[in-house]
Amino acid sequence: MKILITNDDGIYAPGLWILAKELSKVAEVIVVAPDREQSAVGTAVSLRKPLIVQKITPLAPGTQAYSVEGTPADSVILALGKIVDKVDLVVSGINRGANLGEDVLISGTVGAALVGYLRGFPAIAVSTAEWDDVCLTNTGRFIAMLASKIHRSELGNNVFLNVNMPMLPVTEVKGVQITRLASKSHINTVEEGHDGKRTYYVLVRQAIEKEPEEKTDIWAINHGNISITPLNIFFGNRFSPAVLEGLCSGLLDELK
């Protein structure tokens, strides 16, 4: 099995290397990641600037590593276009901080996994709110086991998973829940400040505190479970297309 690893916390983030170390026990590992932190850039790509790639000394023995002066998505596109021909899996993480609900739309961790998936490779994004070496190692071990199972499964390339770990020691984790995204996970507000000359604004995102719906990713995490959310690239909607068809009928005639 050959695995491409990337992240959005940058090539020297501990989560990346603990993941690389654990995955290298079950697979050949190639690390290609941004040279600096790129959290919350989603699937952004650098279309109009040259991208510098540097081979670096890997921090996990037996792996190869490259740093990219670009985004997480750039790293995956470059890796799959120039560094490796074909991989069995793309894994993005281990991100510092959870990526739940609406987070998947802006997360660079999930964005990088999405790019791998769109290029036809199974992909996993993995995040954890807990941040000590023991938790990261257990998260890495869990992903290594999951990767091996997926590789031997019938799922083929149609795998795009968002994995989040609860803030608990592994002995206290309740279970593994297959979840859907929580629909409303954050409140977005704008705070105003003054620097003496100008007014500036700061975008603030706060997690919603109300109890989430059962079987959503946030619910699973709040109840001490590992959450695995299968994702696809289509945004669902809550009404039948017929309603919108009725609403839009005649618009073009009017325009003409």
Contacting residues toward Mn ion, per CB under 5 A: 8-9, 39, 95
Smallest gap from Cβ 249 to Mn ion, in A, equals: 45
Q: Which is nearer to Mn ion, 95 or 164 (CB)?
A: 95
Q: Which is nearer to Mn ion, 132 or 213 (CB)?
A: 132
The amino acid that residue 34 corresponds to is: P
Q: Which residue is nearest to Mn ion (CB)?
A: 39
Q: Which is nearer to Mn ion, 95 or 216 (CB)?
A: 95
Smallest gap from Cβ 7 to Mn ion, in A, equals: 7
Smallest gap from Cβ 45 to Mn ion, in A, equals: 17
Smallest gap from Cβ 39 to Mn ion, in A, equals: 3
Measured CA angle at 147 (ends 163, 36), to 5 deg: 60
Tokens of 102: 């609406």
Smallest gap from Cβ 175 to Mn ion, in A, equals: 26
Q: Which residues does 186 contact at the CB level (< 8 Å), separation at least 6?
A: 101, 102, 103, 205, 206, 207, 208
Q: Which is nearer to Mn ion, 1 or 40 (CB)?
A: 40
Q: Which is nearer to Mn ion, 9 or 217 (CB)?
A: 9
